[in-house]
Amino acid sequence: MQCVRIVGGRPLGGSVEIGGSKNAALPILAASILTDERVLLHSVPRLDDVHLMLSILKKLGGDVTLEGNSATVRMGCVSAVPDFSAVCRMRASICLLGPLVARCGEAVLPLPGGCAIGPRPIDLHLKGLQKLGCEVIQSKEGVRLRAKRLNGARIFLAGKNGGTVTGTANMLCAAAIARGTTEIHFAACEPEVVDLCKFLTGMGAKIYGIGSPILTVDGVDSLRGAEHRLIADRIQAGTFALLAPMLRGDMAIKRAPISHCAALLDVLERIGVPFSADGDCLHIFGGKCDRLAAIDVSAMAYPGFPTDLQAALCALATQCCGESAIGERIYENRFGHLVGLRSMGAGITLAGSTARVVGPTKLAAAELSVADLRGGACLCMAALAASGESIVDSVHHMDRGYEQFEEKLRSIGADIMRFER
Ligand code: EPU
């Protein structure tokens, strides 16, 4: 098992550079199935999930290379059935559904189950693709989609928790080469969806209303190859921005997608963290914070505070004065990280989907176990703030989403070392 040893309580400061966005990379890589021409992507983060998606594309028949942070993908001919063992390892494989059925007229995928952050249904993906003309056959093993021809349709893509990011990506990919016009109502507005729209547009897709909750797609006969630079990862940037005040360090976060971080910056302002933006460099002056104020905020769809930073915010809240209320409106059960924070002495209660965190608490070092990617970042943040040596196990979860996390932390002064147990 991959573990890290963290000696906490050290002052941190310096600069880190943010890489490309994982959640932009995965649907865009899947969308490269839509053309038999070459796709060239830059700023591709070297993460486990990205390597897995590239290997799935290769097994589907693609020529795939990753050199540095540039990937080339050429899907000359494509099989409709991906490698189930690889697909099962990553929930984001669901992004293959729309591109595969659009390109091959058929797609077969195992049904993704729930995961550490709660149930992850795909009913909206299936509803939308059915509207576009897919026949959907579900069995215990998985889901098979078939469509001789996709036809444009009006799709309302909201469930009880609102829109769906990867569901919107699937609709966009399928609608791009469907016959006629598709309207996607309640489309996700996340920057990663906008990035996919830009990529598809570069391939020749006709998409209108980009960035809004109503997207209109005029289907075209075929898409061509494209070159595209992925947006920077707002969740990685946000994680460092929340860590800086926790450790009272000054940090320059370079290549930060500042225009995608309004909710995060509002939270920092309300907590009392001074910051400034200089081009795409976000300076966080954690060293100038004397008192961090408690915060009341809920994670919700973009442009709201991102669910993928909710865990990191819980870690910071342990150092805020008073009772913070951190709600979760996307995944009601995404609170696995609270167990670890409590074991370090944090005063936290969970009422429904709201964590109430009373601080500030002097966190104690502990043996911690990571259950999911973002919870892992939260626990490492807490371990960096605690005095003494913490061991964090199952850190392989973090290799899915944080590029060179330990290296970046070490470069700003953290004492963190990986080992195998
Ligand atoms: N939902 C349904 N039915 C569906 C699809 C979703 O009810 O068919 C519900 C979900 O249960 C959830 C809500 O809708 O309550 C939103 O889920 P969504 O589909 O937007 O999530 P996703 O597309 O599977 C992406 C990111 C997640 C991120 C969420 C929310 C990727 C590859 N994943 O997931 O990222 O938390 O959007 O922003 O883009 C992460 O990076 O750690 C991560 C989990």
CA-derived radius of gyration, the chain: 21
Domain boundaries, the chain: 2-19+232-420, 22-229
27 φψ region: left (φ > 0), alpha (ψ -120 to 50), beta (else): alpha
Distances (CA, A) of 364 to 133, 344, 370, 416: 56, 5, 17, 16
pLDDT recorded at residue 117: 80
Ligand 1 touching residue 24 (CB < 6 A): no
- Of all atoms in ligand 1, which is nearest to the CA of residue 160? 7
Q: How far apart are CA 73 and CA 101, in angstroms?
A: 18
Q: How far apart are CA 5 and CA 395, in angstroms?
A: 11
Q: How far apart are CA 380 and CA 239, in angstroms?
A: 11
SS (H, E, C) 314-330: HHHHCCCEEEEEEEECC
Contact indicator for 131, 156 with CB cutoff of 8 Å: no
pLDDT recorded at residue 119: 78
Ligand 1 touching residue 114 (CB < 6 A): no
Residue nearest to atom 40 of ligand 1 (CA): 308
Which residues lie below 8 Å from residue 367, measured CB to CB, with a gap of 6+?
343, 390, 391, 393
pLDDT band at 308 (very low <50, low <70, confident <90, very high): very high
User: How many other C-beta atoms lie within 10 A of the C-beta of residue 29?
Assistant: 28
Instruction: Please name which of 188, 84, 90, 85 lies closest in space to residue 143, comparing C-alpha atoms.
Output: 84
Which residues lie below 8 Å from residue 139, measured CB to CB, with a gap of 6+?
none
The predicted-structure confidence for 38-84, as pLDDT tens digits, reads as follows 999 999 999 999 999 999 999 999 999 999 999 999 999 899 999 99
- Of all atoms in ligand 1, which is nearest to the CA of residue 301? 38
User: How many other C-beta atoms lie within 10 A of the C-beta of residue 235?
Assistant: 25
pLDDT recorded at residue 113: 62
DSSP bridge pairs for 253: 16, 282
The predicted-structure confidence for 311-322, as pLDDT tens digits, reads as follows 999 999 999 999
DSSP bridge pairs for 118: 115
In this prediction, residues 217-233 reach a mean pLDDT of 98
Compute φ and ψ for 325, nearest 5 degrees: -120, 115
Outline where 216-261 has alpha helix (H).
234-246
pLDDT at residue 112 greater than cutoff 80: no
Which residues lie below 8 Å from residue 195, measured CB to CB, with a gap of 6+?
21, 24, 28, 230, 231
Ligand 1 touching residue 373 (CB < 6 A): yes
In this prediction, residues 233-243 reach a mean pLDDT of 98
Report the catalytic residues.
115
In this prediction, residues 260-280 reach a mean pLDDT of 97
Q: pLDDT exceeding 90 applies to what percent of the chain?
A: 94
pLDDT at residue 140 greater than cutoff 90: no
Q: Does the CA dihedral 421-54-151-77 come out positive or negative?
A: negative
Distances (CA, A) of 15 to 12, 233, 320: 10, 16, 24
Residue type at position 220: V
In this prediction, residues 161-187 reach a mean pLDDT of 98
Q: How far, in Å, is the centroid of ligand 1 from the Cα of 102? A: 22
Domains 2-19+232-420 and 22-229 share a fold: yes
Domain 22-229: what homologous superfamily?
A: Enolpyruvate transferase domain (3.65.10.10)
- Which helix (H) or strand (E) segment holds residue 76: the answer is none
Distances (CA, A) of 170 to 200, 294, 411: 12, 39, 38
Q: How far apart are CA 187 and CA 213, in angstroms?
A: 4
Distances (CA, A) of 346 to 320, 357, 401: 11, 7, 26
The predicted-structure confidence for 328-357, as pLDDT tens digits, reads as follows 999 989 999 999 999 999 999 999 999 999
Ligand 1 touching residue 304 (CB < 6 A): no
- Of all atoms in ligand 1, which is nearest to the CA of residue 401? 41
Q: Can you list the positions of beta strands (E) in 192-302?
A: 206-208, 214-218, 226-229, 250-254, 275-278, 281-285, 296-299
- Of all atoms in ligand 1, which is nearest to the CA of residue 95? 32
How does the average pLDDT of the chain come out, rounded?
96
Q: How far, in Å, is the centroid of ligand 1 from the Cα of 285? A: 32
Ligand 1 touching residue 168 (CB < 6 A): no
2-19+232-420 maps to CATH 3.30.750.24: no
Distances (CA, A) of 212 to 174, 191, 215: 19, 11, 7
pLDDT at residue 114 greater than cutoff 70: no
